[in-house]
Structure 1
Amino acid sequence: MDKLTQAFNFRHACKVFDDTKQISREEIDYILDAGRQSPSSFGMEPWHFVIISDIAIKQRLKPLCYGQEQITSCSDLIIVLYRKDTQFTMQSEYLRQTVQRTLPVEGASFDLDAACQYFINYCTKGLPEGISINNWSEMQCYIASANMMTAAAYHGIDSCAIGGFQGEKVIAELEKQLPQLSINNFGVALCLAFGYRKNTQTEQVRWKKSDVSSFL
């Protein structure tokens, strides 16, 4: 069995972490790189990762995540934020810098405004009906989140994706420490708990490939 398949078999939604075991900074950097290097639509990378190892902050976040034990028993909690539509306007510094880096070198003939407008037109006219820019941005973060959990499993580190949280209150709590993370500009996509399991892994339950795949 190859190592990637082993990682998929190893990973499960760890509900109880051994709070006496801590992940090294080198391993956290490895996990973050998996998120940072993830693919995203238009290469916009509309995410921001907040890494929390401070137990006091985790304790304040726990009730905002409906008291889930993983929040405080994990070694490191990574809050995956998505960038809101306020960061994808013609005046947005983030949009302009992100688009500019993919254009030809300075001095060549290109129109930054036109390139930004092309992306804005896609968001306003090209997204499926009922999908907003915020929805689009949040969905990109799920790709990065999955890659980080797989990378962790590859190195024998457990994880749990937590989707139950009071997003605005979580952002407000983070904003106390990081004022730049304004609720006007960011939303919470997922909370990812990382650490080492305390209990034996339960049997993985999945549909057969034939149940979830169709070939044409």
Structure 2
Amino acid sequence: MDKLTQAFHFRHACKVFDETKKISSQDIEYILEAGRTSPSSFGMEPWHFVVISDEALKQQLKPICYGQAQISSSSHLIIVLYRKASQFTMQSEYLRQTVQRSLPPQGVSFDLDAACQYFINYFTNGLPQGVSMDNWAEMQCYIPCANMMTAAAYHQIDSCAIGGFQHDKLMAELEKVKPQFNNNNFGVALCLAFGYRKNEQTPQYRWSQNDTTTFL
């Protein structure tokens, strides 16, 4: 079994971490790099990673996450934010800078406004009915989340993806620390807890490939 396949089998939803063991800064950077370099639709990277290692802050966030032990026992908690529709308008500096970097070299004629409008038109007319730009951005964030958890497992670091939290209260706490993380511009996609397991790994149950795959 190659090392990447071993990582897939090693990874599980770790519910309790060993609080005496901390992830090195080098390993956290490795995990974050897996998230940073993840693919995204239109190359928009509609995410931001908030890394929390402060013990007091983790304890403060724990009740907002329904008292889950992973929040406070983890070495590092990464809150994965998605960028809301307010950051994808013609006036948005984020959208304009993101589109600008993929334009032809300087000296080649290209209309930045037209390129931004093309992106906006897609989300105005191209998304399935009932799916908003916020929904799109949130779903994009699951890609770096999966990559970060796999990168952690590759280095024998445990993780747990946490979707159970009170969204608005969590955003309010983040805004207290960093005002730019406000509910108008960002939302929470997932919380990722990282650390080292305290207990033995629970069995990993998966359907067989025959059950999950159809070749045509």
TM-score normalised by L of structure 2: 0.99
Measure how far apart 1:129 and its partner are: 1.4
Q: CA deviation at 1:107?
A: 2.5
Give me the whole-angstrom Cα distance separating, in 1, the residues matched to 2:169 and 2:114. 37
Structure 2 portions without partners, runs of 5+: none
Which letter does structure 2 place at the counterpart of 1:107?
G
Deviation of the 1:182 alpha carbon? 1.5
In 2, the alpha carbon distance for the partners of 1:92 and 1:165 equals: 29
- Secondary structure of the corresponding residue to residue 200 of structure 1: coil
**2:203 alignment partner AA:** E
SS in 1 for 2:160: strand
* Distance in structure 2 (CA, Å) of the matches to 1:196 and 1:157: 6
Indicate the residue corresponding to 1:214 in structure 2: 214
| Alpha-carbon offset, residue 105 of structure 1 | 1.8
Question: What RMSD, in angstroms, separates the aligned Cα atoms of the two structures?
Answer: 0.6
Corresponding residue of 1:184: 184
Count of residues paired in the alignment = 216
Alpha-carbon offset, residue 209 of structure 1: 0.4
- Percent of residue pairs identical: 76
Q: Distance in 1 between matches of 2:99 and 2:181?
A: 21
8-17 or 104-113, which deviates more: 104-113
Q: Counterpart in 2 of 1:79?
A: 79
CA apart distance, 1:136: 0.1
Q: How far apart in 1 are the matches of 2:85 and 2:168?
A: 16
Q: What SS class does the counterpart of residue 159 from structure 2 fall into?
A: strand
1:47 and 2:47 equivalent?
yes
User: For 1:135, what is the secondary structure of its paired residue?
Assistant: helix
Counterpart residue type for residue 112 of structure 1: L
**Aligned counterparts of 2:42 and 2:93: Cα–Cα separation in 1:** 16
Quick one: which amino acid aligns to residue 140 of structure 1?
Q
Moved over 2 A (4+): none
- Cα deviation, residue 203, structure 1: 1.3
SS at match of 2:50: strand
Give, as a single letter, the amino acid of the residue that structure 2 aligns with 1:162: I
* Separation of aligned partners in 2, 1:3 and 1:23: 20
Report the TM-score, using the length of structure 1 for normalisation.
0.99
Aligned to 1:8: 8
Secondary structure of 2:62 counterpart? helix
Gaps of 5+ in 1: none
1:154 is aligned to 154
Deviation at 1:106, TM superposition (A): 2.4
Q: Equivalents in 2 of 1:162, 1:120: separation in Å?
A: 31
Q: Deviations over 1:67-113 (max 9, x none)?
A: 10000000000000000000000000000000000001222200000
1:148-168 Cα distance to aligned partner (Å, 9 max, x none): 000000000000000000111
Query: Secondary structure, in 3 states, of the residue corresponding to 1:38?
Result: coil
Q: In the aligned structure 2, how far is the partner of 1:106 from the partner of 1:76? A: 42
